[in-house]
Amino acid sequence: MILAALAVLCGLVMLVWSADRFVDGAARTASYFKVPPMLIGMLVVGFGTSAPELTVSVLSALKGSPDLAMGNVVGSNIFNVLLILGVTAAI
């Protein structure tokens, strides 16, 4: 139990650190190419946050389980739409 909690804590720390590095790198990329930071934020960070879903979908399709890939895409889109609708309704 203690080992599992320590692994989760370590994973969370690594996730926060890597996300911070990723955003800093995206900001530096924007300034280097003289691109507005908002555009880089939408493109680079958007692709970065979709990468885990893409990885799951590709790996499941390659292993012969296209149902998992399709469920991942449909579930992700449903969640994103409902999240935006919920936040909009709350505002």
Question: Residues 6 or more apart from 39 whose CB is under 8 A from it?
Answer: 30
Judge contact between 40 and 29, C-beta under 8 A.
Answer: yes
Average pLDDT estimate for 20-43: 84
In this predicted structure, the answer to whether residue 56 has a pLDDT above a threshold of 80 is yes
**DSSP at 45:** I
pLDDT band at 1, cuts 50/70/90?
Answer: confident
Average pLDDT estimate for 32-45: 82
pLDDT band at 7, cuts 50/70/90?
Answer: very high
In this predicted structure, the answer to whether residue 85 has a pLDDT above a threshold of 80 is yes
- Report the distance separating Cα 50 and Cα 54, nearest Å: 6
Give the burial class of 40: count Cβ atoms within 10 A of its Cβ; 0-12 exposed, 13-18 middle, 19 or more buried. Answer: buried
